[in-house]
């Protein structure tokens, strides 16, 4: 089923409204999550000496943005919920772009890496190719993108006030390849558990 422009706007607005209303509780519930494996997966593939120019895409209240800055990198966040964006600025001391994923305005070839942790699954599959191309364009030649999403078998729709699209590995790989990326690595999280207890699909890509 094809979504019209108004339906896409509603999806973005309702999902962002959820995060706007729950910005503080989301921060309290996720600030101690260990995503060091994901951060290392991004940084290890970026060529050249650090510090790197990084975009934390969907940075939320700024947990990982602060980590990147603490590691000495030049990090910029992007967040669509105003309260979360304000918290990210205050918590990390970094610039945070306030943009909806459906209305992105990213600089061309500006970043060495993009960190898209637990965020791209909120993008409707209909417009996901466009968003991936925009992320591709904001990376410098050879730049690296990390993504982590809940895996699924093509389910798409509402979970409460949040919209989600849940892709399996072959579908996700095809989407990324079509957007101009080459695969570097993929793995399932949390580490060290049986496959059925690893709901997250993580992958690392280089701009072709």
Q: What is the 3-state secondary structure (H, E, C) of the chain?
A: CCCCHHHHHHHHHHHHHHHHHCHHHHHHHHCCCCCHHHHHHHHCCCCCCCCCEEEEECCCCCHHHHHHHHCCCEEEEEECCHHHHHHHHHHHCCEEEECCCCCCCCCCCCEEEEEEECCHHHCCCCCHHHHHHHHHHHEEEEEEEEEEEECCCCEEEEECCEEEEECCHHHHHHHHHHCCEEEEEEEEECCCCCHHHCCEEEEEEEEC
Q: Which of these, 119, 113, 112, 84, lies nearest to 98 by C-alpha position? A: 84
Is the pLDDT assigned to residue 186 strictly greater than 90? yes
What's the predicted TM-score (pTM) here? 0.95
pLDDT of residue 54: 98
pLDDT tens track for 105-164: 999 999 999 999 999 999 999 999 999 999 999 999 999 999 999 999 999 999 999 999
pLDDT of residue 21: 86
Is the pLDDT assigned to residue 26 strictly greater than 70? no
Task: Report the C-alpha gap between 89 and 93 in whole angstroms.
Answer: 5
Is the pLDDT assigned to residue 179 strictly greater than 90? yes
Task: Report the C-alpha gap between 175 and 169 in whole angstroms.
Answer: 10
pLDDT tens track for 61-100: 999 999 999 999 999 999 999 999 999 999 999 999 999 9
């Amino acid at each position: 089923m094809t979504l019209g422009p108004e339906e896409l706007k509603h999806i973005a607005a309702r999902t962002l409204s959820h995060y706007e209303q729950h910005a503080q509780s989301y921060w309290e519930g996720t600030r101690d999550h260990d995503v060091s494996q994901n951060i290392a997966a991004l940084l290890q593939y970026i060529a050249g000496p650090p510090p790197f120019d990084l975009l934390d895409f969907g940075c939320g209240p700024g947990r990982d943005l602060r980590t990147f800055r603490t590691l000495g990198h030049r990090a910029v966040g992007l967040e669509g919920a105003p309260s979360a964006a304000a918290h990210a600025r205050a918590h990390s001391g970094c610039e945070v772009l306030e943009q909806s994923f459906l209305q992105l305005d990213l600089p061309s070839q500006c970043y060495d890496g993009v960190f898209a942790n637990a965020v791209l699954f909120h993008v409707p599959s209909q417009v996901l190719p466009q968003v991936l191309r925009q992320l591709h364009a904001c990376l410098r030649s050879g730049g690296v993108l990390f993504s982590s999403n809940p895996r699924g078998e093509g389910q798409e729709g509402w979970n409460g006030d949040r919209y989600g699209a849940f892709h399996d590995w072959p579908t996700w790989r095809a989407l990324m390849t079509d957007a101009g990326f080459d695969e570097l690595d993929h793995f399932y999280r949390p580490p060290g558990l049986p496959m059925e207890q690893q709901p997250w699909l993580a992958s690392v890509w280089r701009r072709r």
